[in-house]
Amino acid sequence: MAPIGRRTQEPEEADASRPAPLPAPQSAPVGSVLALQRQAGNRAVAALLSSAPVRAVARLQTAEDLDRQFHGHLNERPPNWDEAARDLNGFSDADIRERVRDLAPDQLEPVKAASDRVNGGSAHRVRGPILERQWRTAVQRRDWRAAAGHLNGFNDADIDRLLGAMDPDDLMHLDDEVLKTDYPVLSGRAAPVRVVGEPRRLADLDRRYHDAVGRQDWRQAAELLNTYSDSDIERLAGEFTSTEDLQQFGRVALVSLRLRVVAGIGAVLARPPHAERVRMAMLESDWEDARRAGDFPKLAHLTCQFSAADVETHLARLHLPELEGLVQQTKGLGALLLRALVEPAERHRARKHLEMTRFALDNSQWVYAVTLLNGLSPADIVTWVDGLTPAQFTAIQPLVSVMYTDANPLFRRVNYRQNLPALAGAHPAVSSGVTPNAGDPSVPVPGGGTVTTHTDDAAAAGWFGQDYQGPNAQQVGWIQFLAREVEKFDAGGASLGFDTSEVTLAQGQSEARKTGTPSAPHWYVDTLGGALPFYDSPATAAVNGGTVGSAGAADASAGQAAMWDAPGARPELARDAFDTWFYETDVATVTVRARFVQYMVRGPDVVMKGGMTVSWTYSGEASAAAGAADPPRTNTPAPVAAYDHIDAAHHVALVRRFPTFRYLPHD
Amino acid sequence: MTELRGRVTAADAPIPAAEVLAVAGDALAGHAETDADGRFALTVTPAPGLRLLARCRRHAAGLALAPAAEEDEVALRLEDVAPPWPVRFTVGGGLPGGFPGPVLRLVPLALGALPATDVKWAMRPLGERSDSAYLSEAMTADGLTLLLQAGRWWFAARLVLASDARAAGAVDPPPLHAVAAQLADGTPLDAMRGGWVLPVGGPTAVSLTIGER
């Protein structure tokens, strides 16, 4: 049976069961009297007209006439429902109820419908008694579905009145039907249970609600909970210990449009302990979303919202690229906003990095291994490269050389390790025979020991030297670079410029050297070494008039690594400078300079830098003539100091002649 | 100020690291160096009779000259002044064992029909440089081949092996020089200023004799 529609309660409409107020007695015209008759009934009209003119009364229908007319309309074939309803409305309320009681069941609906059609604002006088008879009949027959439908047709006061008169057991049956069907007014206003307040009914409802919750039948639970008061809804929602269940309950209630239930659950979820759980669940969800999207700025900020312990567990779940992405966010200004993430993110990244590095090496994933090795800290690179097995080293060495430049820490360490066999015994014990002078004040060396620059030797034989004394001296080597200049001066001492056209050859060294200027020097490694660039390294072949095995003068022992040099004067360079063409300015003096820079190298590191400029000044062409004595040399030192790299111009010269030493740090 | 652009070539091959001088009369208005493709750009103050002169001082040696033109890229071709010819220098009689070839030093005396006043620009000091030779190259023991512009060139050769890094007790060998020079057909070259005068008018071979003076 379709639900019975509830009538609209219009403002001027009185309750269905309430008698309409009688109009005030007056001298009424016939039309008005008939209207009153229809509205208040014959007896009322008769009472009203007791003093009316006889002629008018004679023209009025008596109750018997109206009753006869009413039944006549009912008995017409087909029945004249509209006239019957109009007739019925002409009776008093009591008479209406009496005649409604006498109507056949199948006449009730047609008369009620006809009354609604024809009786206008007083239709309720007929409708109310019919509806109440239908309701009582349904209750009597325990036809709860029909009863619910009829009950839905009453106004709120009548609903309360009728329900209040019901037997509690009947009320439970009726309530079941109300919950099964769609009577929003009935269920929405918590009728009938709350109105009646029947303890058994409440207990039964509680039982059924909790059963539904236990079954996680959220739809049924929402329906049942919706019959409670707002405060009881919150109370019952507050019984939930599982935030997840309560959230699911709320979602179903929302779908079911049980908005009071939704509101109550929402209020509970907004309070502890659910509020924190909801926040965490949402945070967790957002965190996963950001992770899936690779949105590292968002992921970083969300991670910071976890507790310290949760930060750890979440970081532990991330892959290496994700951790790298997070760490990147903590750099620069990000460190201010993500303070809680700076240390743990880097720690997890480092841990994961090491794990993956080990994994890649153990599984012969060489390119990945090289990439990961390259991501290690410089200190870790040293540890890991030195710890590679020979097979692992052999596998990665060519990849490193291809993938990275010589400025790269991994490149440097790998190539240093590659060079270790050549470096073994690079500085054997040797004595130069040079007698040092007192030297300049010693300068401390990072890692221990001192370096003393000797501008001249004690025998004034032209030697200068750099002298390291301290621990691990046999791991220390000096690499010297040389740039030559030839500067011309006129008679007034003004510079005429530098002769950059000279090319010199050095005994025992194959590389021809060009002269340069202070702003554009040409640098060369200055060593007799054939395989190694150190000053004390021996020649391995007889080149440019040198002999195999000859090496730069040095003093090497367990506690000393000193180098000594006394370069040749090169008068032929001055001679060329003096030999001007007819259109050139005459040259009065020529200064030939040899600029030296020395780097002290220990293992793969540069630790000190020093320098010395040796110069000869020739006055007049005769001073540079063949057979003339060399002018006095002047050795001018540059301060020796701690230094951690080789300057770029020197590194270029080093690599040009000794490419395997490109790993030495440089700018 | 105006910007001049151009390219320096020899037989259509670019000449890198050539010095390009902007010359107005006897004054130097500006200079630049060519890139790996022989191209250059320099900014100068416009002047009447402004010319561009390229000093080619490497494997291909000589001068190229052209009027400066603002609108177009200036083509400075070595062969427009005089064609370059291969000139091969060798050491006759060989060298002591383990010794390299000597260092060859050259200066142009005359280049094609270029006036002497223009040739002088070859040795004109530039910036902080005031060179004593236009071109210096170390020969190998097998010799050295250069592309020299047609004309007359002065050259000298010497082999000085002094110590830079010195071994204890090391003594430098005596310097050696080119003590004789002749063309492939045995024609001796004229001596001049401690060197020799080499006429270049086609492919040339020069044989040097090295010894102590």
- What are the C-alpha distances in Å from A13 to residues A21, A35, A585, B45? 12, 17, 129, 107
Contact: A500, B123; criterion CB under 8 Å: no
SS3 A248: helix
Interface test with A, best of B166, B177, B210 (most A CBs within 10 A): B166
Residue B89 — pLDDT band, cuts 50, 70, 90?
Answer: very high
Where is average pLDDT lowest: A77-81, A175-179, A302-306, B109-113? A175-179
> Is the confidence at residue A4, as pLDDT, over 60?
no
Question: Please, what is the end-to-end C-alpha distance for chain B in angstroms?
Answer: 53
DSSP per-residue letters across A107-163: HHHHHHHHHHHHSGGGTHHHHHHHHHHHHHHHHHTT-HHHHHHHHTTS-HHHHHHHH
Contact: B163, A568; criterion CB under 8 Å: yes
CA–CA gap between residue A4 and residue A113 (Å, rounded): 12
What's residue A582's pLDDT?
A: 64
* Residues forming beta bridges with residue B149, ordered by sequence position: B84
Interface test with B, best of A434, A457, A517, A576 (most B CBs within 10 A): A576
pLDDT tens digit sequence for A240-261: 999 999 999 999 999 999 999 9
What's residue A182's pLDDT?
A: 63
Distance from CA of B163 to the nearest CA of A (A): 5
Residue A61 — pLDDT band, cuts 50, 70, 90?
Answer: low
Q: Which amino acid type is present at position A395?
A: A
For B:129-148, CB contacts with A below 8 A are 129-138
- Show the domains of chain B with their CATH numbers: 2-80 (2.60.40.1120), 84-211 (2.60.40)
Is any Cβ of chain A less than 8 angstroms from the Cβ of B179?
no
Distance from CA of B133 to the nearest CA of A (A): 6
Long-range contacts of the stretch B28-36 (C-beta < 8 A, 24+): B28/B124, B28/B126, B31/B126, B31/B127, B34/B7, B34/B8
Q: Could you tell me how many CB contacts below 8 A there are between chain A and chain B?
A: 144
CA–CA gap between residue B188 and residue B178 (Å, rounded): 13
Whether A241 and A275 have beta carbons less than 8 Å apart is answered as no
Is any Cβ of chain A less than 8 angstroms from the Cβ of B178?
no
What's residue B9's pLDDT?
A: 96
pLDDT tens digit sequence for A447-499: 999 999 999 998 888 999 999 999 999 999 999 999 999 999 999 999 999 99
Mean pLDDT, rounded, for A46-73: 62
Give residue for tokens 């130069």. A432
> Is the confidence at residue A13, as pLDDT, over 50?
no
**Sign of the alpha-carbon torsion through A282, A287, A289, A290:** positive
**CA-nearest residue of chain B to A582?**
B120
> Is the confidence at residue A205, as pLDDT, over 90?
no
**CA-nearest residue of chain A to B127?**
A497
Residue among B100, B128, B165 whose CB faces A497 most closely: B128
The packing angle between helices A144-151 and A168-180, to 10°, is 80
Is the bond into A192 cis (omega within 30 degrees of 0)?
A: yes
Contact: A552, B167; criterion CB under 8 Å: yes
Where is average pLDDT lowest: A19-33, A624-638, A651-665? A19-33
Mean pLDDT, rounded, for B134-161: 94
Can you give B181-193 as a three-state secondary structure string?
A: EEECCCCECEEEC
> Is the confidence at residue A600, as pLDDT, over 70?
yes
Is the pTM for the entire model greater than 0.90?
Answer: no
Cβ-Cβ contacts under 8 Å, A436 against chain B: none
> Is the confidence at residue A641, as pLDDT, over 70?
yes
Whether A601 and A664 have beta carbons less than 8 Å apart is answered as yes
Higher pLDDT, A178 or A43: A178
Residue among A505, A545, A626 whose CB faces B138 most closely: A505
Average pLDDT score over chain A? 86
What's residue A23's pLDDT?
A: 36
Cβ-Cβ contacts under 8 Å, B123 against chain A: 581, 583-584
What's residue A45's pLDDT?
A: 42
Higher pLDDT, A28 or A213: A213
Interface test with A, best of B105, B130, B172 (most A CBs within 10 A): B130
Distance from CA of A518 to the nearest CA of B (A): 9
Average pLDDT score over chain B? 93
pLDDT tens digit sequence for A540-554: 998 888 888 999 999
SS3 B88: strand
Higher pLDDT, B78 or A194: B78
Cβ-Cβ contacts under 8 Å, A581 against chain B: 107, 123
Contact: A519, B138; criterion CB under 8 Å: no
Mean pLDDT, rounded, for B11-37: 95
Distance from CA of B167 to the nearest CA of A (A): 4
Contact: B128, A510; criterion CB under 8 Å: no
> Is the confidence at residue A610, as pLDDT, over 90?
yes
> Is the confidence at residue A37, as pLDDT, over 60?
no
Q: Which amino acid type is present at position A595?
A: R
> Is the confidence at residue A44, as pLDDT, over 90?
no
Strands B195-200 and B161-162: unpaired
- What are the C-alpha distances in Å from A615 to residues A203, A485, A545, B134? 114, 9, 24, 25
Mean pLDDT, rounded, for A266-276: 92
Is any Cβ of chain A less than 8 angstroms from the Cβ of B212?
no
Q: What percent of chain A has pLDDT over 70?
A: 87
Mean pLDDT, rounded, for A635-647: 96
Mean pLDDT, rounded, for A75-94: 93
Residue A184 — pLDDT band, cuts 50, 70, 90?
Answer: low
Cβ-Cβ contacts under 8 Å, A630 against chain B: none
What's residue A407's pLDDT?
A: 87
SS3 A625: coil
Cβ-Cβ contacts under 8 Å, A570 against chain B: 160, 162
Whether A638 and A509 have beta carbons less than 8 Å apart is answered as no
Contact: A526, B138; criterion CB under 8 Å: no
Where is average pLDDT lowest: A190-204, A514-528, A599-613, B162-176? A190-204
Instruction: Give which of A440, A477, A447 is closest to A562, Cα–Cα.
Output: A477
What's residue A185's pLDDT?
A: 56
The packing angle between helices A339-362 and A308-317, to 10°, is 30
* Residues forming beta bridges with residue A467, ordered by sequence position: A452, A562
Contact: B123, A503; criterion CB under 8 Å: no
Can you give A554-621 as a three-state secondary structure string?
A: EEEECCEEEEEECCCCCHHHHHHHHCCCCCCCCCCEEEEEEEEEEEEEECCEEEEEEEEEEEEEEECH
> Is the confidence at residue A287, as pLDDT, over 60?
yes
CA–CA gap between residue A614 and residue A623 (Å, rounded): 18
Instruction: Give which of A428, A425, A450 is closest to A440, Cα–Cα.
Output: A450
What's residue A546's pLDDT?
A: 86
